Structure 1
Amino acid sequence: MIVALGSNRPGDHRSSEALLEAALSLFPQAGLPLLARSRWWRSAAWPDPNGDEYRNGIAIVETNDPPQAVLAQLFAIERRFGRRRGVPNAPRTLDLDLIAHGRLVVDEPGLILPHPRAAARLFVMGPLAEVAPGWRHPVNGATAGALAASATVGRDAAPIPTPGCPGEGRDPS
């Protein structure tokens, strides 16, 4: 299962990276053990590039839970970090998006898998290509590497060097 993490408001943490690390540390107790993770990436705020810069990354986790249950766990973690959902694309302390759950294709109220806009976002596909370049999109069949190369949103996204986090791990395919 693939989860995208993002933040441009550090809340009570010294930085958005610190907040993202703290959020990631809660995944195992939420029943989402971490298999791999990317480095943190930086990108301009979107859709308004005048806002605070974002930090983004990808986590690959293992679970047998259905996607609806996983989404509920992710939303619970977001709330612990002060996230209040409301205005789309608004600045936020923590954003956790379920990008893919195995090869499942779902289109129901409140849940679309794979994530409908992830394939076009370099700040999602870049980190995913870092840890699982051969991952294939369940609908269009393109690899994470190819999707990162053709992404049209967040073209300024770039990895932040992170000692001890080479962005290696198990491919979720």
Structure 2
Amino acid sequence: MALGSNLAGGYGSSEALLEEALARFPAVGLKILNRSSWWRSAAWPDPNAPPYRNGVALVEANAGPEEVLTALLRLEADMGRERAAKNAPRTLDLDLIAHGREVRDTPGLVLPHPRAHERLFVMGPLAEIAPDWRHPVSGRTARELAAGATIGIDAKPAE
């Protein structure tokens, strides 16, 4: 699970908003097994937008990927996410990166996430907590994917 924010909404900071999102995971059926630190990066694709805070959480869910995605979208909305335009600044972005080793490509859900492997702001935090996690299609580890990321290459742990 990837988390991101570059608008704090009513939470004071993106980090506070992301912490609140994690605190709400159990209420939507997601048990947190591990989580990364928060990483910072310039906004993408528009570096003039507010910078991002990102992280990942390894979670256990007793639901299928469609149900997990529905819960994530509901949590985003509950925390003020508005979907005005693609890649626009946002309070909360929750992405289902993978669901076990499942591979699928349906109109509402693509697993693994089709672009996560290119993004250092996703693979860096994942490599921090699960460096040997393997991409269900390529078989490459999170560590390898982070080293070869081509998007958000300025991402690094927040200080």
TM-score range, shorter chain: over 0.9
Rounded Cα–Cα distance in structure 2 between residues aligned with 1:86 and 1:60: 29
Taking the aligned partners of 1:102 and 1:149, their CA distance within structure 2 comes to 22
How far apart, CA to CA, are the structure 1 residues paired with 2:49 and 2:84?
17
Matched letter for residue 78 of structure 2: R
Which one of the candidate residues 53, 73, 96 is aligned to 2:71? 73
Give the letter for the 1:88 counterpart. K
- The answer for the alignment partner of 1:63 in structure 2 is 61
Distance 1:144 1:88 in 2: 26
Q: Deviations along 1:42-66, whole A, 9 cap, x unmatched?
A: 0000001111000000011101211
Verify: 1:87 aligned to 2:85, yes or no.
Answer: yes
Per-residue CA distance 1:126-147 (angstroms, 9 max, x = gap): 0000010000000000000000
State how 1:23-34 maps to structure 2 within 5 Å.
23-34=21-32
TM-score (norm 2): 0.98
Q: Secondary structure at the match of 2:61?
A: coil
Match in the other structure for 1:136? 134
* In 2, Cα distance between equivalents of 1:111 and 1:34: 22
Residue 113 of structure 1 and its aligned partner are, at CA, apart by 0.3
Q: Among residues 146, 149, 156, which one is paired with 1:148 in the alignment?
A: 146
Structure 1 ranges of 4+ moved more than 2 A: none
Which residue of structure 1 aligns with residue 15 of structure 2? 17
How far apart are residue 37 of structure 1 and its match? Answer: 0.3
1:5-25 CA-to-partner distances (Å, cap 9, x unmatched) read 000000001100000000110
Tell me what 1:170 maps to: none
Pick from 89, 92, 107 the counterpart of residue 109 of structure 1: 107
Aligned residue for 1:62, secondary structure, equals: strand
Q: Does 1:159 align with 2:157?
A: yes
Q: Once the two structures are aligned, what percentage of the paired residues are identical? A: 65
Q: Which runs of 5+ in 2 are unaligned?
A: none
Query: What amino acid is the match of 1:68?
Result: E
Where is the helix percentage greater, Structure 1 or Structure 2?
2
Q: Tell me, in whole angstroms, the C-alpha distance in 2 between the residues paired with 1:114 and 1:52.
A: 27
Query: Aligned partner of 2:4: which letter?
Result: G
Once the two structures are superposed, residues 32-83 of structure 1 have per-residue CA deviations (whole angstroms, 9 ceiling, x without a partner) of 0100000000000000111100000001110121100000000111011111
